[in-house]
Chains A and B, each alone.
Chain A
Amino acid sequence: MSRVRGVARPAALRLLPWALVLALAMAMLALGADYALGKATLVATYAIAGLGVVIVVGQAGQIGLGQAALVALGAYAQALLVGAGVPPLAALPLGALAGALGGALASLPARRLGGLYFGMSTLAFALIVEEALVRAEPWTQGAAGMAVGAFAVLGWRAASTLEQAAVSLAVLALALVACHRLLRSRHGRAWRAVRDDEVAAAACGVAPAAVKMQAFIVGGALSGLAGALYAHWIGFISPEQFGLVFSFELLMLAFIGGARRLAGAAWGALVIVVIPQLIAVLRDQLPGDWARAAGLELVLFGAVIVAVVLLRPAGLAGGSARSDAAHGDGA
């Protein structure tokens, strides 16, 4: 992108995310705290899943087109375990483990191929997982979906929106801290080395196949964790919720926020959750036929992603090229 532009405009653009926060706060006042807390819960949960994409796509530089399948594995593991009487808090790590195992499996083709071929294999993996969840009817009740109980710890139930928001924000904070440390470690450096130049990384003693698998395991664990929480908040999961559209939503989330930065996941989640609400508000203002136009949301979503990719390729949280160099990537 043109460097002149990057220097001339960051002040205005840096305000954009905060404008969004302000808009959200105003919406909170207008629509009631309960509603806003519900949305905050969703934002935090999406952000955790988005962190997985940031690790796989933004840090390790792999084309992951099937992240939703890893979220699904976490959600279903949690639902099945809780259904079998495991305390939700104890099931959470197992949900994350399910996502991590799925990630390891999805990354297997990366041993032999990279780039677009590998991207297509993650797509195929996600579609296979979705179909498998539909067909595993004895356990998952197939396409009909299954209900999930409330999140509870030692007799305390996260029943209100305030409690749910608190739990998901706490988990998000923990995940952010863990990722921050990981990115600063040799693992994070290895991911970025493979992203920037696989051959050079290999020449420096970094094994690309193992590094990609690590990234998928970590990314899968985060997405699985998000899925486990999501199952509790929504209370009902079915395979179609975790289809290709959700995978792309997560990818867009990461790109809108800034795939190279951890903060990008949070900003992207905010945008992804807020846009439908904005449209709902807008729709009430529009006259006649437009109010009923079902496609408006799709058009606007599409326009946002195209605009972000064209105008702000580093995402909302991504700084100018200069600040990237100063801070190193990530964090």
Chain B
Amino acid sequence: MLSLLQVLLSGIATGCIYGLVALSFVLIYKATETVSFMQGDLLMLGAFAALGLHLQAGLPLAAAALLAVIAVGALGAGLERAVLHRALGQPHLVAVLLTFGLGMMMRGGVASVPAAAQEVHALPFAADTLAIGPLVLAASHLWVILATVLLAALLAAFFRHTRTGLALRACSEDARVAALMGVPVARMHTLAWALGAALAAVAGLLLAPVTFVHLNMGFIALKAFPAAVLGGLTSLPGALVAGVLLGVAEALAGLALPEGVKDVVPYALLMAALLLFPQGLGVRRGGRGGV
């Protein structure tokens, strides 16, 4: 029973990270109709940026983390202005290849720094555990869940209660009509990329204590794609919920099923869902489903 609880918690925590990455993917996809295959690389970049700022530049951890998230967000905005806006209105594969190429360049760039390429790094807030009676929980898992809930609330408030959030939603709903209503659509696209990149960086920071910081940590984004698709590709809450669902399913599969099955559970679920529910689980018919 206790071990089940622990497995569940770690599954939820992992699922939160899948969900956050899926959220960043869906945010960009919804606003700009562009598929981003570099969310994992942005995630990795965010973690390394925070690590570099903390260890090399000597900033306090919180400041380094904040600065890293802002920097990655700015990078996302810059890339949109410089390159990615060219993928607007093009077939999906154009964006897939562009973002994959850019992601390769980021991975290559980090790999070129000898100190980053060689080893696995830990962030200093990693190892704590929390004991509640006989139950021992990893503090990092609780952090992840707490931060995800907080972020989701912040995002919801942003989309519900601010003018910019409303404009972004309008833009996702129908860019032409939004433009007619005076929404600066091009600027909204840049904002969506900045937000998407920053979210991925946050996911990287949250993942850092769980798996440590290394070059291939971005591969976790591969599990975020099933989450995004299961959520219907256009629903932000759907992506988050699907991410948590996949994380829990994976953790339970690790507990109950033979080794190796765990790793394919997200993909198997995705295939099953696509074959059985081609509409997606998170999409309400009639296509209203708010952001």
* Interface of A toward B, CB cutoff 8 Å: 57, 61, 63, 65, 108-109, 112-113, 115-121, 123-125, 127-128, 131-132, 134-135, 244, 248, 251-252, 255, 289, 292-306, 309-310, 313
Contacts and interface: CB of A to CB of B under 8 A. Distances in A.
Contacts of A310: 83, 86, 98
Contacts of A306: 83, 98, 101-102, 105
Given A116-B35, A123-B225, A295-B110, A128 B104 contact: no
Contact of A302 (B105, B117, B260): B105
A53 B33 CA distance: 24
B94 interface: yes
Given A121-B271, A289-B114, A299 B233 contact: no
Contacts of B86: 310
Nearest to A304: B101
B271 A125 contact: yes
Contacts of B91: 61
B276 to A, nearest CB: 9
A128 B268 CA distance: 7
B159 interface: no
A112 B109 contact: no
Contact of A113 (B98, B260, B278): B278
Contact of A305 (B104, B222, B271): B104
Interface string B97-129: 110111111111111111001000000000000
A245 to B, nearest CB: 9
B109 A299 contact: yes
B260 A135 contact: yes
Contacts of B222: 123, 127, 244
A306 B98 CA distance: 5
A128 B264 contact: yes
A290 B272 CA distance: 47
B112 A309 contact: no
B274 A121 contact: yes
Interface string B246-279: 0000000000000010011011101100110010
B103 A302 contact: yes
A112 B267 contact: no
Nearest to A120: B229
Contacts of A65: 96
Given A108-B275, A120-B270, A295 B97 contact: no
Nearest to B106: A302
Interface in B184-233: 222, 225-226, 229, 233
Contact of B101 (A124, A127, A134, A305): A305
Given A296-B108, A305-B98, 7 more contacts: A112-B278, A121-B270, A128-B271, A135-B260, A255-B93, A255-B97, A295-B113
A310 B100 CA distance: 13
Contacts of A132: 264
A299 B112 CA distance: 9
Given A57-B93, A119-B92, A302 B108 contact: yes
B108 A297 contact: yes
Nearest to B92: A116
Contacts of A117: 229, 233, 274, 278
Contacts of A63: 92-93, 96
Contacts of A296: 108, 112
17 contacts: A63-B92, A109-B274, A112-B278, A124-B226, A127-B264, A128-B267, A131-B260, A252-B101, A294-B111, A294-B112, A297-B108, A298-B104, A302-B104, A303-B105, A305-B100, A309-B97, A310-B83
A306 B264 CA distance: 31
A134 B112 CA distance: 31
Given A120-B270, A124-B271, A302-B101, A309 B94 contact: yes
B229 to A, nearest CB: 5
Interface in B63-108: 83, 86, 91-94, 96-98, 100-108
Contact of B97 (A115, A134, A252, A298): A252
B111 A298 contact: yes
A146 B110 CA distance: 33
A295 B233 CA distance: 32
Nearest to A108: B275
A127 B267 contact: yes
A1 B110 CA distance: 33
A244 B223 CA distance: 13
Contacts of A109: 271, 274-275
B271 to A, nearest CB: 5
A138 to B, nearest CB: 14
A299 B96 contact: no
Interface in B237-251: none
Contact of A295 (B35, B83, B111): B111
Give the top 8 A-B pairs by smallest Cβ distance, nearest first: A298-B108, A295-B111, A302-B104, A299-B108, A295-B108, A302-B105, A305-B101, A124-B267
Given A116-B35, A121-B274, A124-B267, A295 B112 contact: yes
Nearest to A135: B260
B254 to A, nearest CB: 14
Nearest to B269: A124
A119 to B, nearest CB: 7
A78 B86 CA distance: 43
A210 B34 CA distance: 28
Contacts of B83: 306, 310
A175 to B, nearest CB: 23
Nearest to B117: A294
Contacts of A112: 274-275, 278
Contacts of B266: 124
Nearest to A115: B92
